[in-house]
């Protein structure tokens, strides 16, 4: 993952790597898809290591404009560890705004 990313911890201290996917970027599980829409996505991966080159487990992706009004997020409803509370989402939103996105 060569683009800028954010490492955020949820309330259970599960680390997630967050990055923006723009049109033409690889995305999804194992980067096997290519994002073909103009609206950027935000991908969330469970990070089992703090090493940016280490493999991660894809959790979910959302359109940037969808996330800008969210205060908490269940990345997968059947996986209780994969939830971001208001504190974690505030960090994600601040980071997105630092990347040039607006609320």
> How far apart, in whole angstroms, are the C-alpha atoms of residue 89 and residue 46?
15
How far is Cα 57 from Cα 23, in angstroms, rounded to an integer? 22
What is the tens place of the pLDDT at every residue in 17-28? 999 999 999 999
49 vs 40: CA distance, rounded Å = 26
pLDDT, residue 1, reads 41
6 or 54, greater pLDDT: 6
Q: What digits encode the pLDDT tens for the residues 78-102?
A: 888 899 999 999 999 999 999 999 9
User: CB of 76 within 8 A of CB of 82?
Assistant: yes
The alpha carbons of the chain give a radius of gyration, in whole angstroms, of: 13
Q: Which residue has the tokens 């560890």?
A: 81
CA pair distance 84, 7, nearest whole angstrom: 12
- Determine the Cα–Cα distance for residues 96 and 18; give it in Å rounded to an integer: 10
Asked if 6 and 95 count as a contact pair (C-beta separation under 8 A), the reply is: yes
């Amino acid at each position: 993952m060569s683009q800028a990313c954010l490492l955020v911890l949820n309330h259970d201290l599960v680390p997630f790597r967050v990055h923006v996917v723009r049109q033409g970027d690889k995305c999804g599980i194992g980067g096997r898809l290519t994002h073909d829409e103009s609206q950027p996505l935000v991908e969330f991966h469970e990070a089992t290591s703090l090493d940016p080159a280490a493999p991660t487990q894809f959790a979910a992706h959302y359109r940037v404009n969808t996330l800008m009004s969210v205060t908490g997020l269940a990345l997968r409803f059947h996986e209780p560890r994969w939830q971001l509370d208001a504190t974690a989402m505030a960090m994600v939103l601040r980071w997105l705004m630092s990347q040039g996105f607006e609320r």
